[in-house]
């Protein structure tokens, strides 16, 4: 599910921005999962793609844009997904390890 190769990636942090959590993740689209990193800072949520998708699927989500954070299961025994529902109704699904820890951290930011 997650890439074995660790690539060094750079994101541009804003003034006074600090990374709180980062994990390998997949942006779960109906046609294909997009591998990347989910990064939580004290100012935003950021998804940075891997595997040459350039910036097409990179996402920046500000805390004020979120309406709900919902868990989902990819399989019967697989509790590894979070759905971020934005105020405009978009559902952004991410697969990750330690989903419950991420849910707690995201709720604290919002």
**How high is the pLDDT of residue 14?**
87
Alpha-carbon distance of 95 to 43, in angstroms, equals 22
Quick one: residue 51, left, alpha or beta (phi over 0 = left, psi -120 to 50 = alpha)? left
Say whether pLDDT at 2 is over 90: no
**How high is the pLDDT of residue 52?**
64
Report the DSSP beta bridge partners of residue 12: none
pLDDT in tens, 60-108: 999 899 999 999 987 666 668 999 999 999 999 999 999 999 999 998 8
**How high is the pLDDT of residue 11?**
76
**How high is the pLDDT of residue 77?**
65
**How high is the pLDDT of residue 22?**
95
**How high is the pLDDT of residue 37?**
94
Q: For residue 103, which of 73, 83, 75, 78 has the smallest C-alpha distance?
A: 83
For 42-80, list the strands marked E by DSSP. Answer: 45-49, 59-61, 66-72
Helix, strand, coil shares of the chain, percent, nearest 5, are 15, 40, 45
Domain spans of the chain? 19-109
Report the DSSP beta bridge partners of residue 55: none
Please state which CATH number belongs to domain 19-109.
2.30.29.30
The number of helices, as runs of H, and strands, as runs of E, in the chain is 1, 7
pLDDT in tens, 5-28: 555 567 788 899 999 999 999 998
Alpha-carbon distance of 58 to 42, in angstroms, equals 18
């Amino acid at each position: 599910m997650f890439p074995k190769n660790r690539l060094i990636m750079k994101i541009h942090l804003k003034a006074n921005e600090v990374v709180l959590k980062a994990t390998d993740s997949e942006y779960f689209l109906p046609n294909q999962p997009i591998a990347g990193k989910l990064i939580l800072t004290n100012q935003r949520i950021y998804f940075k793609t891997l595997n040459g998708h350039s910036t097409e699927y990179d996402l920046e989500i500000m805390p004020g844009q979120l309406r709900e954070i919902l868990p989902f299961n990819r399989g019967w025994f697989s509790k590894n997904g979070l759905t971020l529902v934005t105020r405009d109704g978009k559902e952004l699904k991410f697969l990750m390890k330690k989903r419950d820890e991420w849910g707690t951290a995201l709720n604290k930011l919002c």
